[in-house]
């Protein structure tokens, strides 16, 4: 009887100690934007046996690095389906590593998309374009999920802006994500400038873009880059800015 009571007391004490530790750990994960890994059948299917065992045993980083190397080899062999599969595994195992999300998006939206468009085995242009756009979408998906797992890191916002600009020719969304990247304390100065450039291509946003570019121009010589001056002059003409308010020709 005494032994049973002692066991119950020990369990209660351990439980009381465990609760605050788990609460603090959960708070730390929320603070660090760590979404964690859900150990379920879906994860088992994504990772395969080795990856799933690694996730359970705490060797995620080691296995993720190994899979990343395999993805590089698959890229060299232009095995795009395998590249996609491996990067899905890598980013699932290590969702807080920016490099993995960025490289996954680059391989899909740039390398695989170009390969699809230049696929000589597919004579129909419409199907090549369709395949290319599917790879664009895969790259965008990697970046969007990467941002969800790393909302506190500017690199993926910039990468998504670049994808919208170069692949979708979507200047409005490109401007939006360059602007989001520019809000970070450690953001390079070009983020704000790139956002203004993209706004200058958006119908109906010309006045906003002009004010942004003019403000940058007025900050000094270091901001007066050729592209900024070209876009600013374009907007001056389009908006009919009075001559005495325009920037000099030289």
In a domain, 25, yes or no: no
State mean pLDDT over 106-116: 98
Q: Decide if 192 contacts 182 (C-beta within 8 A).
A: yes
* Lowest-confidence segment of 7-11, 129-133, 201-205, 228-232 by average pLDDT: 7-11
- For the entire predicted model, the pTM comes to 0.78
- Number of separate domains in the chain: 1
Dihedral angle computed from the Cα positions of residues 235, 236, 237 and 241, in that order, rounded to the nearest 10 degrees: 140
In a domain, 27, yes or no: no
Residue 111 DSSP code: I
In a domain, 60, yes or no: no
85: Cβ contacts below 8 Å, ≥ 6 apart = none
Q: Decide if 89 contacts 44 (C-beta within 8 A).
A: no
Each residue of 147-204: pLDDT tens digit? 999 999 999 999 999 999 999 999 999 999 999 999 999 999 899 999 999 999 999 9
In a domain, 250, yes or no: no
SS (H, E, C) 43-58: HHHHHHHHHHHHHHHC
Each residue of 41-62: pLDDT tens digit? 454 444 454 544 455 456 788 8
CA-to-CA separations, 49 to 41, 62, 91, 162, 182, in angstroms, rounded: 11, 15, 16, 36, 41
In a domain, 134, yes or no: no
Q: Report DSSP letters for 175-188, one per residue.
A: HHHHHHHHTSTT--
In a domain, 57, yes or no: no
Q: Which residue range(s) make up the domain with 180?
A: 157-242
Q: How far apart are the first and last CA of the chain?
A: 96
| Ramachandran class of 38: left when φ > 0, alpha when ψ lies in -120 to 50, beta otherwise | beta
Task: Give the three-state DSSP class for 133.
Answer: helix
In a domain, 66, yes or no: no
Dihedral angle computed from the Cα positions of residues 50, 56, 61 and 67, in that order, rounded to the nearest 10 degrees: 20
* Lowest-confidence segment of 82-86, 142-146, 243-247 by average pLDDT: 243-247
pLDDT at 140 over 60: yes
Task: Give the three-state DSSP class for 141.
Answer: helix
In a domain, 216, yes or no: yes
Task: Give the three-state DSSP class for 162.
Answer: helix
């Amino acid at each position: 009887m005494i032994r049973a009571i002692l066991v119950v007391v020990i369990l209660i004490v351990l439980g009381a100690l465990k609760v605050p530790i788990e609460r603090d750990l959960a708070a730390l994960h929320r603070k660090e934007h760590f979404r964690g890994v859900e150990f379920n059948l879906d994860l088992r299917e994504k990772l395969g046996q080795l990856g799933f065992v690694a996730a359970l045993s705490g060797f995620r980083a080691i296995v993720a690095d190994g899979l990343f190397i395999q993805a590089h080899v698959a890229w060299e062999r232009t095995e795009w389906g395998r590249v996609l599969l491996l990067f899905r595994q890598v980013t699932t195992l290590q969702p807080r590593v920016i490099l993995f999300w960025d490289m996954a998006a680059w391989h899909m939206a740039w390398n695989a998309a170009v390969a699809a468009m230049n696929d000589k085995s597919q004579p129909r242009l419409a199907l090549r374009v369709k395949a290319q756009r599917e790879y664009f979408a895969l790259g965008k998906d990697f970046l969007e999920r990467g941002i969800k797992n790393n909302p506190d890191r500017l690199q993926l916002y910039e990468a998504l802006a670049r994808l919208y600009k170069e692949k979708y020719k979507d200047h409005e969304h490109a401007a939006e994500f360059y602007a989001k990247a520019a809000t970070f304390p450690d953001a390079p100065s070009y983020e704000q400038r790139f956002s203004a450039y993209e706004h200058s291509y958006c119908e109906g946003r010309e006045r906003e873009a002009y004010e942004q570019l003019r403000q940058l121009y007025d900050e000094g010589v270091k901001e007066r880059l050729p592209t900024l001056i070209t876009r600013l002059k374009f907007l001056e003409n389009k908006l009919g800015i009075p001559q005495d308010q325009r920037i000099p020709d030289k």
